[in-house]
Amino acid sequence: MSTAVLTVAQMRAAEQSAMASGVSEWELMERAGEGAAQWVARVAGGRAVTVLCGPGNNGGDGYVIAETLRKSGLAVRVVAPVDPTTETASKARASYAGPVDVAATLTDPILVDCLFGYGLSRKVEGQFAELLEQFGKSSSFKIAIDVPSGVMSDSGEWLAAPYQCDLTLALGAWKRAHWLMPGCAAMGEKRLVDIGLALDHDDVTLSDRPLLSAPAPDSHKYRRGLLAVVAGAMPGAPLLACEAAMRAGAGYVKLLSDSSPTCSPPDLVVSTSALGEALSDERIGAMLVGPGLGRDDAARERLATVLDARACAVIDADALHLLDADMFEGVDASRICLTPHEGELAALCKAFDVTAEGKVEQATGLRDAIGTAILAKGPDTVLACADGRLTFFPRGSSWLSVAGSGDVLAGIIASRLAGHGDPARAAEEGVWLHSYAAALAGPSFTASRLASCVNRALAHFL
């Protein structure tokens, strides 16, 4: 099944392309409604269903769902505050042989939201807002068809009072809102209903589970990757990154510090040589700079030394606040991955004169301005690759919102980068390993506990 993630305009173009090839809009609606009805029937398990139908084609999908369920023997009720306003939705309404109520108390065990699908651009008001409020307050199992009504498909922003669904059934293709906050947090489980569209959008996709491999039989520590972690003013953050990196696949992790930390693990190599000298080692596969670096002149000098070195690099945390266009003069940006959270992303956009609204636009604008891979991390994570691709990710554990979690992620990504040298691939692998390590760590973990679970997460993807 396709992993393409479409904008509203791209989804409409895909549907128009299907219709230009001879598939009618009614046939697409039948495919969508019947496919969604299969999921609704599984959830219902014989229990009664109420379908809320709006005036457009999402409402038409709802009528098809309701008729498909009715024919299968389920008790179905449709609530539609207004009549259909499109020809295809009207045909769907005429094909439904059950009762339609203008208003009703929502008491059935299964509720299905087909009020507004993708493409909503104005605030939900009046009787539809009241119906959605009742829908949201219900204790029934709630299913959204395509996207929850009130969520903007391209941004994930709400145009209605937010509510929580248990299941969201994406029709035809994933939309950006399925993977962007705040909307994605309200969708529950998400499933894709294939309606036979030809989706030629390999440049914007949902990340698929990576398949990692064990070291080759003749591997040694340098072939697996030597990672240099550049320390700075604060020792804790780079040590956390090292702890994660040592468990994420690199064969050799070396901490480059002005002084030996008192609490470093015995299996971590620490070098106190001058940074330029230490980074001249041609065996270094990747560098990590930023965690605990500080933001003074000494930190800026250490960052400049990293940028002047030839190896691939992950730049995170404090270092992101020091970057500017002058520092990238003469640097091969394609070998670098930046890993900003929301505040760091905004600071980078200001430093590089990128004017954009929203995480996707900021990440892609910054990518275009600098030429690096940009992993815009957070409760929703987006990867803008240097080659122009854009990747969305399934949402990770909310327990990752803990101090030091970003240092662990940076260490994982840098470890993967040291092994193969592909910044975008390393970032994608890092997000998956980070997320699964959180699942293994359990609730309310510390960053050090998260780092300790990275090797078990790695085993899951081998």
Point out the annotated binding site for K(+): 58, 113, 149
The binding site for AMP consists of 377-381, 406
* Spatial separation of the C-alpha atoms in residues 123 and 160, rounded to whole Å: 6
Q: Would you say 290 and 410 are in contact if contact means Cβ atoms under 8 Å apart?
A: yes
Closest by alpha carbon to 32, among 1, 57, 51? Answer: 57
C-alpha 159/C-alpha 355 separation (Å) is 24
Q: What would the two tokens of residue 428 be?
A: 């994608």
User: What span, in angstroms and rounded, lies between the C-alpha atoms of 175 and 188?
Assistant: 15
Measured CA distances, 18 to 28, 62, 397 (Å): 9, 21, 38
Torsion angles phi and psi, residue 133, rounded to 5 = -65, -45
**Binding-site residue ranges for (6S)-NADPHX:** 57-61, 117-123, 146, 237, 292, 341, 407
The span from the CA of 255 to the CA of 66, in Å, is 62
Binding residues: 57-61, 113, 117-123, 146, 149, 237, 292, 341, 377-381, 406-407
- The residues near 156 (Cβ < 8 Å, ≥ 6 apart) are 176, 177, 179, 180, 181, 182, 183, 184, 380
